[in-house]
Amino acid sequence: MVLSLIKTCPAKINLFLEVKNKRKDGYHNIESLMTFCNYGDSLSVKKSKKFVFRVNGPFSKELFGKYNLIEEAKNKLEFLYKREFKVDVLLTKNLPIASGMAGGSSNATTFIRCIKEIFNLKDVSGFDNLLLSLGADVPFCYYGKTALVSGIGEKLKFVSIKEQFYFLLINPKIEISTQKIFTSLKESRKKKEKSNKLEELVSLKFFSKRKNHLEGYAICQSKKIEEILNFLNSLNGTLFSRMTGSGATCFALFDNLVDLELAETYAKKRFDNYWIKSSKLINSIKHI
């Protein structure tokens, strides 16, 4: 019997993110290639006599008084399974808050997987609806595999990127308003790509030419994002640079570890008060 678990909550990276149109319900249909890196928050969950939620780590102070997706996930799980889950939860917050890396979604889905394992829960009717009700990134984070994501985030086509890539991640420690971005969004007029071969859709040649449609709107909120992207593009070995999610984290993609290490050194000299992290692309959270 499993009584306690400690798991990594890996950061999500949007290799591209394109907004297609606004739906009648107010949400936006997107198309995105989403993957993970081998770094994130850490979550400890163990059986207890009552529910306890604690936070530590370098970004724990930023969470005080803020909305907590883990507790919402617990409440919705209890309603769905019609039982209580008394656990002691310790979240170590290593990722910046509101950083475009789905930190909250990854925390919530890691918590759900821990609860299911500790209490030996099976999937029941309504489980996928529960995931989507927690947020658009939650289904992707729960199933934990690189995917072509569409709809509002509920349509997942699992894929695998065969080449080994690395990320240099930079966050200026500012929060970008996702709500303001989506309020300002205009529909994409880009024609649909005519590629039916899955290996083409997940190739560097394909996704390096795509965009993050939210970038320009985020830059309107902070020019620091544009400065970071220009810096990343100037680095030796950068395959391309992009913002992930709605920001403010930006990344450069590398296929060479030596170039990555040098780039991280230069970045820390240039932006000494920013959050900077090098990491590896992983196709499945099982590889952490």
User: Among 12, 76, 224, 277, which one carries the catalytic annotation?
Assistant: 12
Strand partners, 44: 6, 90
Q: How far is CA 13 from CA 16, 17, 46, 284, in A?
A: 9, 10, 29, 13
Q: Is 180 one of the catalytic residues?
A: no
**C-alpha–C-alpha distance, residues 145 and 43, integer Å:** 19
Q: Is 12 one of the catalytic residues?
A: yes
In contact, 148 and 201? CB cutoff 8 Å:
yes
In contact, 280 and 166? CB cutoff 8 Å:
yes
Q: How many residues does the chain have?
A: 288
In contact, 109 and 141? CB cutoff 8 Å:
yes
Q: Largest alpha-carbon pair distance within the chain?
A: 56
User: Among 7, 76, 93, 137, which one carries the catalytic annotation?
Assistant: 137
Q: What are the counts of helices (DSSP H) followed by strands (DSSP E) for the chain?
A: 10, 10
φ, ψ (nearest 5 deg) of residue 107: -60, -50
In contact, 88 and 45? CB cutoff 8 Å:
yes
DSSP SS3 for 4: strand
DSSP SS3 for 202: coil
φ, ψ (nearest 5 deg) of residue 17: -150, 110
Strand partners, 277: 169
Which residues are catalytic, by number?
Answer: 12, 137
